[in-house]
Structure 1
Amino acid sequence: MSVKSAERVLRVFELVAHHPEGLTIKEISENLSFPQSSTSNLVGTLFEEGYLNQDSLKRYKLGPKLVQLGTLAMESLDISSQGTPHLKKLMEDVQETVFMAVLSERELVYVAKIDNNRSIRTTAQPGYRKPLYCTGLGKAFLAFLPQNEKNAILDYAELSPITKNTITDRQELEKELKRFAGMGYSIDDEENEEGLYCLAAPIFGADHTIQAAISVAGPKERMISRKEFIADKLLQTSKEISKSIGHS
């Protein structure tokens, strides 16, 4: 037998998750057909406890505690642990650093990193967050997310220059994302860190939606000289991990 209050909390989370731009109490109440007074109390409690955030327009979005829980849930769902043996083999094949990341609200969160003994220094570490528009992993998400989700993220994003190569024009970025969708993988050409070149590919779940992304990163000259070989190994690995979590 379900508990009514717990059921309402879950329905609020599910609704807000599908509206990254946020919703007011009135909009939540109307969408879920809950009384506005009880919705106000429920949302207020979730906000105070850190499970929801509130912006300047009093619109509610998913909060930081859910990011922590989501990261733990992701580990227990075994996307990273299912993928780790495949990532290790990929690292051995290409002899470069390999990453896996998941989407958390409008940013990526690294969940795995497999270092190679000739790895170059990078700021990316498991648990770290980075923007989507200027990273290979992030652009893999943007290239393969449903159009409405991609638009919601880009509408919110401030395309600030991180390096001289960062793409800051949305039209140019969208053109590039379309090309990546056709290629099956994305590219970060020193757009987030000087000297770092990255190829990234999507991981799809049983419902055919992107669940994670994996990448190979290394010095630009070394990566470009073996680009086709690395891309082939990357795509092969992404298909194997996707299959391991139910994608067919």
Structure 2
Amino acid sequence: MSVKSAKRALDILDLLARYTDGLSIKNIGDKLELPQSSTFNLLKTLHNEGYVRQDGMKLYYLGEKLIPLGTSALESLNIHTVAKPYLTNLMKAVKETVFMAMLSKDELVYIAKMDADRSIRTTAQPGYKKPIYCTGLGKTFLSFMPEREKNELLNRITLKKITANTITDRTQLEDQLQLFQKQGYSVDDEENEDGLYCLAAPIFDSQRQLLAAISVAGPKDRMIKQKESTITNLKKTAQLISNGMGYV
């Protein structure tokens, strides 16, 4: 049985994580359908404890006290410790940005990012969430998760257009996912961010369960030129991390 005030406080933190430009008390109350008095009291407590902060415009943001908590959470994920050296080696080999992500409900959440010297600007950062249907990492989960789980997830989400290349037709998406499963990696061809091309592969655990996904992302023209070598390095790295998690 959940405690209502605790659930509301967690909802506020989750909301602020998605609105990094800050939100007012009214914005928060409206989006979470909370009474303004309750919203004010919850924010006051969170602010006093350092879990949220407020600027001169009376907008609220996530607070500094969450930083060590987030770091500890990442460190407690064994996969983060196992994968880090392999992700670093992959980044050095391909000289592009490398990511690792896991599923959080119906969305993708980034848990690691390795920047190369020539990394491009992207909105993806550790802790950030992205749609599952239009990212290379997300489509890796959809390609390799059990069929029933995939269908249930696709039934719950809406395929919204984000760029000109975003696939919003479910049949077309499912055909693509079948191909990705056969070839062992997935592709995001400027479907979530213009100019960004991404290749991604799955990570499995000792129970042969899909645990995470890793990717290499960069400008499309540069990625296409080195696509074959990147795929080779990507799949090899995914295998090494999976082995480190006990997968045989």
Same fold (TM over 0.5): yes
* Pairing 1:1-248 to 2, within 5 Å after superposition: 42-43=1-2, 45=3, 48-50=5-7, 73=73, 75-248=75-248
* Distance of 1:73 and 1:211 partners within structure 2: 16
* Structure 1: runs of 5+ lacking an equivalent: 1-41, 57-67
* Distance of 1:106 and 1:72 partners within structure 2: 24
* Structure 2: runs of 5+ lacking an equivalent: 12-31, 34-65
Query: Matched residues, percent identical?
Result: 56
CA RMSD of aligned residues (A): 2.2
- 1:50 offset after TM fit, Å? 1.9
Aligned residue identity for 2:106: R
Distance 1:91 1:246, change over 3 A: same
Task: List structure 1 segments (4+ residues) > 3 angstroms apart after TM superposition.
Answer: 68-75
Query: TM-score when scaled to structure 1?
Result: 0.73
* Distance of 1:148 and 1:139 partners within structure 2: 15
- 1:102 offset after TM fit, Å? 0.6
Distance 1:209 1:74, change over 3 A: farther
Distance 1:123 1:80, change over 3 A: same
1:193-248: per-residue Cα shift (whole Å, max 9, x none)? 00000000000001111100000000101101111110000000000000001111
1:160-215: per-residue Cα shift (whole Å, max 9, x none)? 00000000000100000000000100000000000000000000001111100000
What is aligned with 2:48? none
1:52-86: per-residue Cα shift (whole Å, max 9, x none)? 98x99xxxxxxxxxxx9999656313211210100
Distance 1:130 1:242, change over 3 A: same
Query: TM-score when scaled to structure 2?
Result: 0.73
1:115-157: per-residue Cα shift (whole Å, max 9, x none)? 0011111000000000000000000000011111111111011
* Distance of 2:85 and 2:203 partners within structure 1: 15
* Distance of 2:237 and 2:170 partners within structure 1: 30
* Distance of 1:70 and 1:92 partners within structure 2: 26
* Distance of 1:72 and 1:206 partners within structure 2: 24
What is aligned with 2:25? none
Distance 1:157 1:99, change over 3 A: same
* Distance of 1:164 and 1:72 partners within structure 2: 39
Aligned residue identity for 2:211: Q
* Distance of 1:202 and 1:146 partners within structure 2: 13
* Distance of 2:157 and 2:72 partners within structure 1: 26
Partner secondary structure for residue 49 of structure 1:
helix
Partner secondary structure for residue 133 of structure 2:
coil
What is aligned with 1:6? none
Distance 1:205 1:73, change over 3 A: farther
* Distance of 2:108 and 2:72 partners within structure 1: 15
* Distance of 1:229 and 1:213 partners within structure 2: 19
